[in-house]
């Protein structure tokens, strides 16, 4: 028999022990419980004593506990367990208990029951869960640089681990990359994400993308204005929404929401919006630790949202710059019909660019290039290269000379004395430059590390042009070479960048085959052919890299549109040249241009005879403009100057410059050509001719 002292010690143990002690008899009826269990669970001991384990743990939990207790009774092997038990003391929440169950035997070895030692691990478990949630948030939020997706990832993390429903509302303009600015009155918000444990959410009144407004008196508006988080442990009698937002209040009441947390989305002292958490299924209200967790999650989400916002702003700026660089209206080109497609990368504009440039002599230059890098810097480099190419092309240089000068420009921008951030330092950029001459039907092209274009001649399959490929721009090394390709009328040239033919999951060879096959079909409509080619080569509408396609269909001028005369180096031939040009203009029904053309022919032929050398050639080209060209075998070039009053000459070229629309010089391997262009505008030029005739008659 135990002494009185033993009984007192046992009573003190069950009354004062900080851990839970539970004893069942062999029939698994509860015979003794420590006071710690009552204090933590809130269940009076008197309600537990004498009850079977299945009465204490109803449902499937009771079956599991009973099975465990019977196993311990049978084999005497202690078992460790951890389980969650709903407890009224935690406002209907649950406690996490870690227990060790063991068999109890008397002095004679007889089994008298089974006992459990229980330790409340709720705080430790919740702390571990919060850390796990924070780690998951760090791993998942911000996986893409998209504002809305970052908000969605945040909501997915928070539900159901922290709340039953989460709504993320961002200030209007954040999704577009704009920086939120304080505004008078209630700021405009736009719902970026929602997440709920049930299909019917209390805030489904506002779907994603909808404008959200909160009355200034509501907790949400106060949180946004103050920048301070709010914890509403119980909504009973503590919310003033009914007076200001009856619709939302009704939804909250119908859903059974009992606890709310509202946290501003802030970073760098910049408020981007707010996020609100609701509980109705989870009976445990939000606590101070939950508020801290919500703030930490919101802070991490704010950084990701702000990064995505700034990236979006830069992407929009890059696309706008790219649009201004690439999508200017192309001038009319009589020698080529063109169509183009530009598809920016899904992550923003890169440095792909193209251009179509009208050149003297009815020729047209086609250019396509690719600058390494992404974003505004890459687009700015592409824009500057495009401007440089336009300038070089206007100087009448051959394709290899254009690329050589462009290479020098890029190399010079990369010298140490230049700022490394200078956008023109596009080292490693590639470029293909081609010039098509409709008079000869010949296309000259040179490449700086860029893929050769595809050529589809009428009635024949498309092939890739066999041209030498020089090094990318700025790297030096091998010189650039010009290749000549003869093209029949109606041939298709396809210039492109790597992004068109090299996209996951399509490799480069497969992409080139797709491009070649797409060009093999009928091409009556270039725009339709461009669409068909893009559809055939790109696996997605938003490629991984910028994609450019530039299509051109050739036209060859007939003998009726070109007149050529070989002239001797004799001053007496000048009047004959004027007469031949005049007769040709009458045949073309362009007599209104005769007077200016005679002056141009007279001046240019005279200069070729006086300062050049044989052979001398005069050529007239009728296309979208009338072009007069005089070639000779020297490299000397006239230059425009203002003659003094006492000079006997020097005024001819100045007069020509005033009368024609454009003039200039281009050089060949062994000769030079002086050209002058006149727009074919009969009415205007007739008036100009009459005025000029009236001016020269007194002389």
- N- to C-terminal Cα separation, the chain: 150
pLDDT reading at 132 higher than 80 = no
Per-residue pLDDT of 239-277, as tens digits, reads 555 556 666 666 666 677 888 889 998 887 788 889 888
Per-residue pLDDT of 392-437, as tens digits, reads 998 888 999 999 999 988 887 555 544 444 444 568 889 999 999 9
> What is the β-pairing status of strands 454-456 and 442-448?
unpaired
Region 5-33: mean pLDDT is 83
What 3-state class would DSSP assign to 469?
strand
Q: How far from chain centre, in Å, is Cα 322? A: 12
pLDDT reading at 332 higher than 60 = no
Domain locations along the chain: 4-120, 126-314, 330-554, 559-696
Whose structure tokens read 């193209």? 354
For 42, the enclosing helix (H) or strand (E) is none
For 334, the enclosing helix (H) or strand (E) is none
371 DSSP assignment: E
Read off the pLDDT band of 522 (50, 70, 90).
low
pLDDT reading at 352 higher than 60 = yes
Q: Before 160, cis peptide (omega within 30)?
A: yes
Residues 6 or more apart whose CB falls under 8 angstroms from that of 266 comprise: 227, 272, 298, 299, 302
Q: In terms of pLDDT, which residue wins out, 436 or 310?
A: 436
Paired residues of 626 in beta bridges: 622, 678
What 3-state class would DSSP assign to 251?
helix
Region 433-449: mean pLDDT is 94
330-554: CATH superfamily: PPM-type phosphatase domain (3.60.40.10)
Region 81-99: mean pLDDT is 63
Q: Are 341 and 532 in contact (CB under 8 A)?
A: no
Per-residue pLDDT of 479-517, as tens digits, reads 899 999 999 999 999 999 988 888 766 677 888 888 898
Q: What pLDDT, on the 0 to 100 scale, is given for residue 444?
A: 95
Distance of alpha carbon 619 from alpha carbon 598, whole angstroms: 13
- Cα distances (Å, whole numbers) of residue 57 to 19, 49, 78: 20, 13, 20
Residues 6 or more apart whose CB falls under 8 angstroms from that of 81 comprise: 68, 98, 99, 100, 101
Distance of alpha carbon 443 from alpha carbon 678, whole angstroms: 24
Q: What pLDDT, on the 0 to 100 scale, is given for residue 452?
A: 94
Region 280-291: mean pLDDT is 78
What 3-state class would DSSP assign to 647?
coil
- CA torsion through residues 497, 501, 503, 508, sign: negative
- Cα distances (Å, whole numbers) of residue 173 to 98, 191, 318, 460: 50, 12, 18, 53
Distance of alpha carbon 301 from alpha carbon 306, whole angstroms: 8
Q: Are 287 and 295 in contact (CB under 8 A)?
A: no
Residue 259: CB atoms within 10 A of its CB come to 24
Q: What pLDDT, on the 0 to 100 scale, is given for residue 59?
A: 65
Tokens of 18: 């900080």
Q: What pLDDT, on the 0 to 100 scale, is given for residue 86?
A: 59
Write down the mean pLDDT value for the chain: 79
Predicted model pTM: 0.62
Domain 559-696 CATH class label: alpha beta
* Residue 634, phi then psi, degrees to nearest 5: -110, 170
Q: What pLDDT, on the 0 to 100 scale, is given for residue 446?
A: 95
Distance of alpha carbon 432 from alpha carbon 430, whole angstroms: 7
pLDDT reading at 347 higher than 70 = no
Distance of alpha carbon 464 from alpha carbon 457, whole angstroms: 11
Say which range, 176-190, 217-231, 299-313, 411-425, has the weakest mean pLDDT.
411-425
Distance of alpha carbon 394 from alpha carbon 493, whole angstroms: 22
Domain 126-314 CATH class label: alpha beta
Report the CATH fold assignment for 4-120.
Beta-Lactamase (3.30.450)
pLDDT reading at 116 higher than 50 = yes
Q: In terms of pLDDT, which residue wins out, 510 or 92?
A: 510
* Residue 653, phi then psi, degrees to nearest 5: -65, -35
Our CA dihedral for 279, 280, 281, 286, rounded to 10 degrees, sits at 40
- CA torsion through residues 655, 657, 659, 660, sign: positive
pLDDT reading at 693 higher than 60 = no
In percent, the amount of the chain with pLDDT more than 90 equals: 20
Residues 6 or more apart whose CB falls under 8 angstroms from that of 669 comprise: none
pLDDT reading at 606 higher than 80 = yes
The two domains 126-314 and 559-696 share their CATH topology (first three levels equal): no
Region 605-622: mean pLDDT is 90
Q: Are 673 and 666 in contact (CB under 8 A)?
A: yes
């Amino acid at each position: 028999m135990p002494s009185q002292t033993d009984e007192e010690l046992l009573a003190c143990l069950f009354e004062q022990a900080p851990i839970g002690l539970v004893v069942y008899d062999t029939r698994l009826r509860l015979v003794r419980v420590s006071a710690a269990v009552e204090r933590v669970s809130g269940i009076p001991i008197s309600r537990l004593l004498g009850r079977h384990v299945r009465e204490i743990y109803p449902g499937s939990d009771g079956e599991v506990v009973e099975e465990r207790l019977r196993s311990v009774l049978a084999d005497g092997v202690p078992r460790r367990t951890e389980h969650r038990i709903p407890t009224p003391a935690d406002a209907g929440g649950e406690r996490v208990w870690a227990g060790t169950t063991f068999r109890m035997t008397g002095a004679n070895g007889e089994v008298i029951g089974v006992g459990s030692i229980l330790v409340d691990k709720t705080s430790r478990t919740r702390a571990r869960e919060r850390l796990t949630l924070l780690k998951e948030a760090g791993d998942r939020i911000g996986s893409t640089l998209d504002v809305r997706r970052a908000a969605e990832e945040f909501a997915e993390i928070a539900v159901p681990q922290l709340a039953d429903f989460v709504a993320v509302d961002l200030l209007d303009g954040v999704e577009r990359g704009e920086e939120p600015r304080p505004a008078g009155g209630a700021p405009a918000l736009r719902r970026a994400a929602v997440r709920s444990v049930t299909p019917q959410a209390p805030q489904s009144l506002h779907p994603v993308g909808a404008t959200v407004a909160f009355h200034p008196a509501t907790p949400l508006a106060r949180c946004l204005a103050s920048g301070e988080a709010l914890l509403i442990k119980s909504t009973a009698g503590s919310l003033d929404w009914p007076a200001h937002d009856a619709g939302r209040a009704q939804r909250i009441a119908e859903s059974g929401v009992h606890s709310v947390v509202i946290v501003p989305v802030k970073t760098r002292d910049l408020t981007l919006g707010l996020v609100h958490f609701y509980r109705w299924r989870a009976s445990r209200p939000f606590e101070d630790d939950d508020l801290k967790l919500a703030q930490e999650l919101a802070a991490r989400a704010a950084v990701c949202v702000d990064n995505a916002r700034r990236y979006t702003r830069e992407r929009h700026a890059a696309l706008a710059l790219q649009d201004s660089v690439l999508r200017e209206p192309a001038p009319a080109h009589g020698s080529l019909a063109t169509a183009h497609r530009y598809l920016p990368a899904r992550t923003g504009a890169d440095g792909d660019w193209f251009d179509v440039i009208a050149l003297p002599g009815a020729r047209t230059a086609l250019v396509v290039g690719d600058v390494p890098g992404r974003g505004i810097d890459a687009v700015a480099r592409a824009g500057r290269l495009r401007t440089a190419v336009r300038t070089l092309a206007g100087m009448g240089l051959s394709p290899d000379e254009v690329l050589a000068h462009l290479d020098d420009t890029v190399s010079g921008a990369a010298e140490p004395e230049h700022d490394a951030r200078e956008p023109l330092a596009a080292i490693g950029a590639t470029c293909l430059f081609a010039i098509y001459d409709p008079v000869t039907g010949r296309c000259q092209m040179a490449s700086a590390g860029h893929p050769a274009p595809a050529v589809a001649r009428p009635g024949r399959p498309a092939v890739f042009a066999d041209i030498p490929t020089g090094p990318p721009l700025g790297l030096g090394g091998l010189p650039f070479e010009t290749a000549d390709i003869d093209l029949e009328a109606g041939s298709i040239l396809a210039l492109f960048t790597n992004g068109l033919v090299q996209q996951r999951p399509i490799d480069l060879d497969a992409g080139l085959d797709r491009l070649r096959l797409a060009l093999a079909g009928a091409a009556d409509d270039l725009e339709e052919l461009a669409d068909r080619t893009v559809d055939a080569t790109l696996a997605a509408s938003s490629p991984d890299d910028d994609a450019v396609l530039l299509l051109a269909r050739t036209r060859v001028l007939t003998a009726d549109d070109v007149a050529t005369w070989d002239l001797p180096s004799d001053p007496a031939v000048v009047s004959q040249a004027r007469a031949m040009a005049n007769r040709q203009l009458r045949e073309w029904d362009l007599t209104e241009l005769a007077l200016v053309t005679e002056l141009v022919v007279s001046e240019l032929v005279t200069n070729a005879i006086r300062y050049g050398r044989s052979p001398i050639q005069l050529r007239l080209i009728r296309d979208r403009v009338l072009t007069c060209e005089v070639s000779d075998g020297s490299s000397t070039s006239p230059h425009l100057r203002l003659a003094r009053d006492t000079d006997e000459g020097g005024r001819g070229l100045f007069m020509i410059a005033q009368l024609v629309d454009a003039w200039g010089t281009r050089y060949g391997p062994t000769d030079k050509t002086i050209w002058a262009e006149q727009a074919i505008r009969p009415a205007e030029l007739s008036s100009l001719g009459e005025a000029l005739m009236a001016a020269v008659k007194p002389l």
